[in-house]
């Protein structure tokens, strides 16, 4: 516990300093009650305004935005949440699986919990996909989306390979569900090994320096081995189905995105399976959206975490034009703030 508190204080001090402004942006841990426990997150900035809802990528957590948010407009609050099973959020019950559709329902519950008349999204990777899919389902509820290094779900293949992938997901789920149900403590590592495992597991996308921003929400100290830690994210998320639809569905669905959208693509990050399908959907969105902006940015898949200064200019320019909705007058849920 001391380790996590000390690291949390250190990270927040440095992310605020990164903005190089005299006035500090307040940041607070929050807990949103749900039927299986709580959704954890970080509320940045004023509490009397509707925040931008920030959604992280697969196996990441709200810490992914720690370096970017201090660069955003000081007067605009941001609520970065941990998806279920990620970060400090509660895990779903044993025997259950994680699926992107469930997170879409959760997002709708969060909108209703706060009594927002509109919702704005800042999403990375899986979070970008879910932001877009939520908008597809509720086009009139979303006032804008910012998508970092992803836009559309994986396309279903027109052959048996997806069946093979489904079988693999089932086998992984059984393996990790049994592991998660065990009373045994997960494998423990030194801090240096945790950093190495995270960076190498991301194929170098998360830099060594950036790992700490994700790890402080993903680790607990071992009670039996001093100076060693174990990962607390639910291993079942490794078998998670974010969402897969065929390309024809993607094209039709994404015609429903009418709000302004900013799409940033990292130039050192691969496309999911097919570059042409990505741009086919992007062209659809350009026609349907009231304002669609697309830019390449130099960096890896986690460019917003490693080099936030590369993306902040595009995001702030977009916000100046399209963040024009009313963010005031929302009921304050004091009970969620820790």
Q: Are 155 and 253 in contact (CB under 8 A)?
A: no
Least confident of 25-34, 80-89, 323-332: 323-332
pLDDT at 174 over 90: no
pLDDT, greater one: 332 or 79: 79
In the chain the domains, ranked by start, together with CATH numbers, are 10-155+246-336 (3.40.50.1820)
pLDDT at 19: 39
Per-residue pLDDT tens digits for 109-167: 999 999 999 999 999 999 999 999 999 999 999 999 999 999 998 877 666 566 777 78
DSSP secondary structure string, 39-82? EEEEEES-SSBPPEEEE--TT--GGGGTTTGGGS-TTS-EEEEP
Q: Is the pLDDT of residue 9 over 80?
A: no
Q: 257-282: buried (b, 16+ CB within 10 Å) or exposed (e) per residue?
A: bebbbbbbbbeebeebeeeebbeebb
Residue 10 binned pLDDT confidence (cut-offs 50, 70, 90)? very low
Supply angle C-alpha 156, 161, 162, rounded to 5.
Answer: 40
**Confidence label for 18 from pLDDT (cuts 50, 70 and 90):** very low
User: Is 80 exceeded by the pLDDT of residue 234?
Assistant: yes
Please give the radius of gyration of the chain, using alpha carbons only, rounded to the nearest integer: 19
308 vs 287: CA distance, rounded Å: 29
CB of 139 closer than 8 Å to CB of 285: no
Is residue 138 within 8 A of residue 81, CB to CB? The reply is no
CA–centroid distance for 34 within its chain: 18
143: DSSP letter: E
pLDDT one-digit tens code per residue, 29-75: 999 999 999 999 999 999 989 999 999 999 999 999 999 999 999 99
At 172 the pLDDT is 81
Token pair of 112, please? 């209703």
- In the residue annotation, 125 being an active-site residue is answered as yes
Q: Catalytic pick from 90, 120, 125, 250?
A: 125
C-alpha torsion 40→41→47→48, nearest 10:
-70
Which residues, 6+ apart, have CB-to-CB distance to 54 below 8 Å?
Answer: 62, 65, 69, 78, 79, 80, 81, 121, 122, 123, 127
pLDDT for residue 162: 67
d(CA 108, CA 100): 13
The chain-wide mean pLDDT, for the chain, equals 89
Could you give the 3-state DSSP secondary structure of residue 179? helix
Query: Could you tell me the strand order of the sheet in which 119-124 lies?
Result: 27-34, 37-44, 78-81, 52-55, 119-124, 142-148, 261-266, 292-297
Q: By C-alpha distance, which of 88, 1, 80 is closest to 305? A: 80
């Amino acid at each position: 516990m001391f380790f996590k508190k000390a690291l949390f204080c250190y990270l927040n001090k440095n992310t605020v300093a990164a903005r190089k402004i005299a006035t500090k942006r307040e940041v607070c841990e929050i807990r949103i009650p749900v039927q299986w426990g709580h959704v954890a997150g970080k509320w940045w900035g004023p509490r009397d305004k509707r925040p931008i809802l920030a959604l992280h990528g697969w196996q990441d957590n709200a810490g992914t935005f720690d370096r970017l948010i201090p660069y955003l407009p000081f007067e605009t609050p941001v609520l970065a949440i941990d998806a279920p099973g990620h970060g400090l959020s509660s895990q779903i019950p044993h025997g259950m699986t994680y699926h992107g559709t469930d997170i879409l329902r959760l997002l709708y519950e969060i909108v209703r919990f706060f009594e927002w008349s509109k919702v704005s999204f800042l999403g990375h990777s899986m979070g970008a996909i879910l932001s877009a899919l939520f908008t597809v389902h509720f086009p009139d509820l979303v006032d804008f989306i910012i998508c970092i290094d992803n836009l559309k779900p994986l396309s279903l293949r027109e052959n048996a390979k997806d069946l093979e992938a489904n079988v693999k997901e089932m086998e992984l789920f059984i393996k990790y569900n049994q592991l998660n149900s065990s009373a045994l403590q997960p494998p423990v590592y030194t801090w240096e090994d945790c950093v190495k495992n995270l960076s190498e597991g991301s194929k170098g996308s998360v830099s060594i320096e950036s790992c700490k921003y994700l790890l402080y929400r993903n680790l607990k100290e071992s009670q039996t081995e001093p100076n060693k830690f174990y990962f607390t994210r639910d291993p079942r998320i490794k078998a998670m189905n974010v969402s897969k639809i065929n390309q024809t569905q993607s094209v039709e669905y994404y015609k429903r995105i009418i709000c302004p959208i900013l799409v940033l693509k990292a130039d050192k990050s691969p496309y999911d399976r097919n570059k042409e399908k990505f741009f086919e959907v992007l062209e659809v969105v350009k026609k349907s959206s009231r304002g669609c902006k697309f830019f390449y940015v130099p960096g890896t898949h986690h460019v917003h975490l490693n080099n936030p200064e590369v993306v902040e200019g595009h995001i702030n320019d977009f916000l100046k034009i399209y963040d024009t909705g009313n963010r005031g007058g929302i009921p304050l849920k004091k009970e969620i703030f820790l």
